[in-house]
Structure 1
Amino acid sequence: MEVILNQFDFTTKWNGGILLLVLFLINIYLFLLPKGKEDSIKKTILFISGLVGLFIALGTPVNILGRVTFSFHMIQLVMLLLVVPPLLIVGFKKGILEKIPSIAPVQKGLYWLTNPFISLFLFYGMFYLYHHPPIFDYVKVDYYLNYFYLFALFFAAILLWLPLLSKNALMAKAKQRYCLANIILIIPLFLIYLLSKESLYTVYTDIGMLTAALEYCIPDWDTLPKEFFAELLPFNPLNEQKIGGSILISGHAVVFGGVMIKNFRVKEN
């Protein structure tokens, strides 16, 4: 990985635009949003940690490595969809959240979108669609479309987490079933990656597609020889696919399994 990253300059590996966005959001959270009695230092730390996680997923070398290897693509998604959203939701200022549902159109929209069946269908429908090989290869070679889809998935992940983290959304047993559903729904994709006899995604095996995927990441990419891009494909794509699938299922099991255990302990107490 270090050899690969050494091929890129600093501005390619570290996205200044994402960093500025994160710093902007931190300043708004700390200095512009009103603070309530329940907005503790702990909540502030959680929210800022979520924003830092967002930067790590989208603005650090993790993003570049996700374009080169499938395993890092899954690491990026686990952070962006399973780690960052709950941190932001739990850490967000409660007073602001309480005012949002008072707006009638927003209340109706949130009520519909955060319905457990709708949120599950929306998130996993988008997730499976994104990883359908022709769509995945097409999205990955387009710099802006890839970011757009990632942010769309991130928004769907926020909706996915709201029924779990909102106090009045689901009862304890329903939350347990909801967590279990999240784990079960990802198993078919994991099995596809595990049992597949060949690489599903051309973008990780074809030098031409890899070049197109990295076009906007490298300022002087058109002056580089093909040998440069050939050096970025040292990994067995089929093995990477299995590793990526394992990271995906492990992330779901750890995160949603942890939530299930926490809810169970709260219920016992």
Structure 2
Amino acid sequence: MATFMLGLEYFSFSEIWSPVFLVFMMAVGVLYTFAVGPWRSHFKNSSSVPVKRQIAFLTGILLLYLAQGGPLSLLGHLMFTFHMTDMAISYFMVPTLLLYGIPDWLWKWAFDRAFWRPFRVLMNPIICLFLFNLMFSFYHMPNIHDWIMVHTTIHGFFYFALLVAAMMNWWHIQTPVKEWAKISPLWRLGYIFLNGLLLTPACVLIIFASEPLFAVYSDPNAWAQAMRYCVSGDPASLLAQFKGGPAFFNLMSAQEDQQLGGIVMKLLQEFINIGALFFVFMRWYRHERDKEDQPGLDDAAGAV
């Protein structure tokens, strides 16, 4: 652990904390706070947003910053385990928090417009399910992953596209606008199960590979190229500072790091999916129970 902490001494404050991205995410949080607060009256059919939902959204923004621009992002370029942790936070935790935090009337204001009608076909549950999982698995093909990691512009664009795909995927699980629901609560249980199933092959490949798959975590020269996303100037100078490669590699072998990263990803994904299954099942159960109770209420109303 001492070696791990000493490695951080080679990075500046801006490289660890990404101030520009921090300011951007803070601006998003402020705009949201005003939209659901003082500016709420400017939106049609708006209503107050519970504090817990506001906290959920702001927590999602904070986690996204930490995983994509803060310290966790830098650590994700140093160890594959942190990279997969960032993936789980960004594309499994953050979407659920953002979808929960944004009220239905704000979604309607943003997307209930004629401009979006040609794109609504993309919100088909099957398309959303396969789009995210295929993009995620495609990204973790070794050659594709290494290529994206060393091309900074493509890296940022792909991560943003993956976040959009993750939001589309989780939309059909949480469905923040009830009128726009495309699948029933019961079918959502199967949707969640398929989500876990479709990502299993990629995780299995990573966990049980007999050798390191990703050059950016095993080859010092490839790693130095990938660090351009985090470090200004010539990242190759880091090779001299880290004596030929990142000191973080001394914590465990590249293969052990890769296996641990795959395990972390799968465990976090399954934990989040179990929570989603419980949430959807309980909501479906309460709905069915209310339907059974309704005839009795109608009879009582008729008697009165």
Output aligned runs, 1:18-29, within 5 Å: 18-29=21-32
Q: Measured at CA, do residues 52 and 152 of structure 1 come closer, stay the same or move farther in structure 2, by a change above 3 Å?
A: same
Q: 2:5 aligns with which of 2, 7, 11?
A: 2
**Selected match of 1:13 from 12, 16, 35:** 16
- 1:142: which partner in 2? 151
Q: Offset at 1:220?
A: 4.5
How big is the shift at 1:30?
Answer: 1.7
Output the aligned Cα RMSD: 1.8
Q: For structure 1, which segment, 226-235 or 118-127, has the greater mean C-alpha deviation from structure 2 after superposition?
A: 226-235
| Residue 174 (structure 1) aligns with | 187
**Structure 2 runs not aligned, ≥5 long:** 41-45, 287-304
Using a 3 Å threshold, how does the CA distance of structure 1 residues 221 and 266 change in structure 2: closer, same or farther? same
Q: Deviations along 1:3-45, whole A, 9 cap, x unmatched?
A: 2222211111001111111111112112246423242222211
Q: TM-score, normalised by structure 1?
A: 0.93
Match of 1:265 among 279, 282, 303: 282
Secondary structure (helix, strand or coil) at the match of 2:77 reads: helix
Number of residue pairs the alignment of both structures matches = 268
- Does the 8 Å CA contact 1:5/1:61 hold for their aligned counterparts? no
**Other structure's SS at 1:200 match:** coil
**2: distance between equivalents of 1:163 and 1:32?**
24
Cα deviation digits, residues 183-240 of structure 1 (max 9, x gap): 1111111111122101111111111111111135333546836332424332311111
Equivalences for residues 115-154 of structure 1 within 5 A:
115-154=124-163
**TM-score by structure 2 length?**
0.83
Q: 1:61 to 1:31 in 2, by over 3 A?
A: same
Question: Equivalent residue of 1:6, what SS?
Answer: helix
Which stretch of structure 1 is more off in the superposition, 161-170 or 92-101?
Answer: 92-101
Unaligned runs of 5+ in 1: none
Determine the structure 2 residue equivalent to 1:37: 47
Report what 1:87 is aligned to.
97
Q: Which amino acid aligns with 1:206?
A: D
Share of identical aligned residues, percent?
26
> Per-residue CA shift, 1:133-162, capped at 9, x if unaligned?
111111111222212111111111010011
Give the Cα–Cα distance (whole angstroms) in 1 for the partners of residues 267 and 35 of structure 2. Answer: 38
Distance across 2 between alignment mates of 1:104 and 1:24 = 28
